[in-house]
Amino acid sequence: MLVVAVGTSASAQFALGGHVNALFPIGDFSNRTQGGFGFDVEGRFGVDKTLMTSASIGYHSFSQNAGARLNFTPIMLSLLYPLSTTDVKPYLGAGVGVNRVSSGQTGLRLTNSYFGVSPAFGIQYRSSEQVYFDINVRYNLTLANSNDLFDLLNRNAAYLVFNLGAFYTFGQ
């Protein structure tokens, strides 16, 4: 991403913002957890009118049986492809990264890292030169293939993330 950022023109835009999340486990993961909530902070860099890069970090928390919580910290790098250049801009995206997963009580917390992928579909609405709103849905898949005795995820974890957020744009 650094090479792409350095090699672009001076008219590039950088946006910083965040989302609040509603989380819905699907597949086998829905048998182990209930819906959850979360948030993320994201930086987006417009390479040109047809491509954006994104770096984000978030916090996703799910309820489990007996009151326990399963927490994900996704750290993702994404490419976003706008389908329009108007003020209402639908886009497609794909992200890869690391999901830090933790569970347990304070002092007895287990944490592990897993590879994750996250395709997305969203819509941006530019309300002014500097501010735009973003709504998207992501499919977050955390790949767990480990025989570790203390492994938190003995199977893949899949969930839908519904995001609602706002961004402030720096640059032209």
Residue 171: the pLDDT is 76
Report the share of the chain in percent with pLDDT over 70: 84
Q: Quick check: 155 and 28 in contact, CB under 8 A? A: yes
Q: What is the mean pLDDT of the chain?
A: 86
Residue 122 maps to a domain? yes
Give the largest Cα separation in the chain, rounded: 54
What is the span of the domain harbouring residue 109? 14-171
Residue 92 maps to a domain? yes
Span of 24-33, 92-101, 113-122, 141-150 with lowest mean pLDDT? 141-150
| Overall domain count for the chain | 1
27-48: burial string, b at 16+ Cβ within 10 Å, e else = eebeeebeebebebebbbbbbe
Residue 90 maps to a domain? yes
Digit-coded pLDDT (tens) for 119-144: 999 999 999 989 999 999 999 999 98
Q: Quick check: 111 and 88 in contact, CB under 8 A? A: no
Residue 8 maps to a domain? no
Residue 98 maps to a domain? yes
Residue 146: the pLDDT is 61
Choice between 7 and 53, residue whose per-residue pLDDT is larger: 53
Residue 7 maps to a domain? no
Residue 18 maps to a domain? yes
Q: What is the mean pLDDT of residues 78-96?
A: 93
Amino acid identity for residue 137 in this structure: V
Nearest to 94 by CA among 62, 42, 52: 52
Residue 1 maps to a domain? no
Return the CA Rg of the chain: 17
Residue 164: the pLDDT is 98
CATH number at residue 56: 2.40.160.20
Nearest to 121 by CA among 77, 73, 165, 161: 161
pTM for this prediction: 0.85
Residue 14: the pLDDT is 93
